[in-house]
Each structure stands twice: as structure tokens, then as C-alpha cells.
Amino acid sequence: MITSKMTSKAQTTIPQAVRMALNLKPGDEIAYQIEDGRVILMRTEGRAQADDPFATFSEWDSEADRNAYANL
């Protein structure tokens, strides 16, 4: 069993063996699923963009659009 400790600020380090198993890199998002008193830790795939409401409007993300709307 792999363990880690929680700090007084509710933070913990994901052990290296877990990071390697999930191929986690800095900036990656992880998800937690609670089932029957246990937590399942998962690496998310592209979830940050899915949660971004503006990602839908990527066709309006050109340099010209950014310049045109920069001072609004």
C-alpha cells in the first residue's frame, strides 16, 4: 500500500509511484470518485477545456478578434 500524509492545509503530495502509474505531469488535472468509503483517483483527459464555456467559440479566437475586442 502506498501512503502520504495530509498537511494542516489539507494538502498532500501524490507519491511518485502513483504519478508514474497515471502518467501525471505538472498542470494535469485529477478527479476523485468516492465509492463505499474509498476514493478512486483518476487522471482526467482534456477536462479543463470541456469546462471552459468559451472553448466553444474557438473560431473567434484569432489575433484579429483579440485585437478588435481587447478594449471592450
- pLDDT tens by residue, 6-64: 999 999 999 999 999 999 998 899 999 999 999 999 998 765 555 666 666 777 778 88
R_g (Cα) of the chain, nearest Å: 19
Domains, the chain: 16-60 (2.10.260)
CA-to-CA dists, residue 17 to 3, 11, 20, 24, 44, angstroms: 10, 18, 5, 10, 18
Does residue 2 register a pLDDT over 80? yes
Per-residue model confidence (pLDDT) at position 48 = 52
Per-residue model confidence (pLDDT) at position 45 = 78
| 3-state secondary structure string across the chain | CCCCCCCCCCCCCCCHHHHHHHCCCCCCCEEEEEECCEEEEEECCCHHHHCCCCHHHHHHCCHHHHHHHCCC
